[in-house]
Amino acid sequence: MNDGTGSREPTSPGRRRFLISTALSGAAPMMGRIGPAEAAETGAPPAVTPGAMPTMAISLTVNGRTHRLDLDPRKTLLDGLREEIGLTGVKKGCDHGQCGACTVLIDGRRELSCLTLAAAAEGREVVTVEGLAAADGTLHPMQQAFIDHDALQCGYCTPGQILSAIGCVQEGHAETADDIREYMSGNICRCAAYPNIVAAVADARARMEG
């Protein structure tokens, strides 16, 4: 998050790269044009051919189940969860640590799966939105509160909001509406359902503690 003063505009290059890779379905030829010397001058990361690194075997514990995976060690936890395990409740918003849509709980703490390597989550307990409901289908109090308070519109940010809100309550940062607003600031809602999200978190705190 701590970008250099004016040294780089964080959003646009990534977006450009995303568009390039979408359009070409494989950005390697484009990126291969940037040689290491040029990259050093511009401050851009030197390009590497994607897929050049050998895979590694890891085991990930997600929602109480252990998954043995063979993946590129550079793969993020976000991509690992979505592409390897099929847990698409974890959303890819900005993929830059700015929106919070990919929030998961790791060893009970909220973290961003887009800024965590899958390999770094080995040996830790990962919880996604799919792991919140009870075995009989009863929703987690936070999930229920989001429904009760209509705390969403399009719903894309909602899994991240819910996991972040659980972390927020467990940290003791949901005591007041101001606290909730401050400590939920890492989760952006483009539909601006914020008033209802604050109400849902406050309500769920009472249910979780009660």
Positions that interact with another protein (CB under 8 A): 1-10, 14, 17, 31, 43, 45-48, 50-51, 53-54, 56, 72-76, 79, 95-98, 100, 103, 109-112, 114-117, 119-120, 164, 167-168, 171, 173, 182-183, 185-188
**Cα 15 to chain center, whole Å?**
17
**Residue (14 or 150) nearer to another protein, CB:** 14
Helices (H), the chain: 11-24, 28-31, 36-42, 77-79, 141-148, 158-170, 177-183, 194-209
User: Closest distance between another protein and the C-beta of residue 188, in Å?
Assistant: 8
Please report the DSSP string for 109-120 in residue order. EEEEGGGSBGGG
User: Closest distance between another protein and the C-beta of residue 135, in Å?
Assistant: 28
User: Closest distance between another protein and the C-beta of residue 8, in Å?
Assistant: 8
**Residue (59 or 185) nearer to another protein, CB:** 185
**Residue (49 or 138) nearer to another protein, CB:** 49
**Residue (38 or 150) nearer to another protein, CB:** 38
CB-CB contact of 165 with 201 (8 Å): yes
**Residue (29 or 150) nearer to another protein, CB:** 29
CB-CB contact of 180 with 201 (8 Å): yes
CB-CB contact of 85 with 60 (8 Å): yes
Q: Which two tokens stand for residue 51?
A: 């897929």
User: Closest distance between another protein and the C-beta of residue 187, in Å?
Assistant: 8
User: Closest distance between another protein and the C-beta of residue 88, in Å?
Assistant: 18
Q: Which two tokens stand for residue 83?
A: 């592409």
Q: What is the three-class DSSP state of 103? A: strand
